[in-house]
Chain A
Amino acid sequence: GAVVSQHPSWVICKSGTSVKIECRSLDFQATTMFWYRQFPKQSLMLMATSNEGSKATYEQGVEKDKFLINHASLTLSTLTVTSAHPEDSSFYICSASNRAGLGEAFFGQGTRLTVV
Chain B
Amino acid sequence: AQSVTQLGSHVSVSEGALVLLRCNYSSSVPPYLFWYVQYPNQGLQLLLKYTSAATLVKGINGFEAEFKKSETSFHLTKPSAHMSDAAEYFCAVSDQTGNQFYFGTGTSLTVIP
Write the residues of chain A forming the contact surface with B, with a CB cutoff of 8 angstroms. 1, 6, 31-32, 34, 41-44, 46, 49, 91, 93, 95, 97-99, 101-110, 112
From B97, B98, B103, B106, name the one whose CB has the most chain A CB atoms within 10 angstroms: B98
B113 within 8 A of A: no
Write the residues of chain B forming the contact surface with A, with a CB cutoff of 8 angstroms. 32, 34, 36, 41-46, 49, 51, 88, 90, 94-99, 101, 103-106, 108
A43 to B91, CA, bound (A): 10
Which residue of chain B is the closest to A97 with respect to CB atoms?
B98
Once A43-B103, A43-B105 are accepted as A-B contacts, the answer to whether A101 and B98 lie under 8 Å apart by CB is yes
Once A41-B108, A42-B106, A43-B106 are accepted as A-B contacts, the answer to whether A105 and B42 lie under 8 Å apart by CB is no
Which residue of chain B is the closest to A112 with respect to CB atoms?
B41
Question: Contacts of A106 on B, CB cut-off 8 Å?
Answer: 46
A95 to B32, CA, bound (A): 16
Q: Is the pair B46, A104 in contact by a Cβ cutoff of 8 Å?
A: yes
Question: Contacts of B108 on A, CB cut-off 8 Å?
Answer: 41
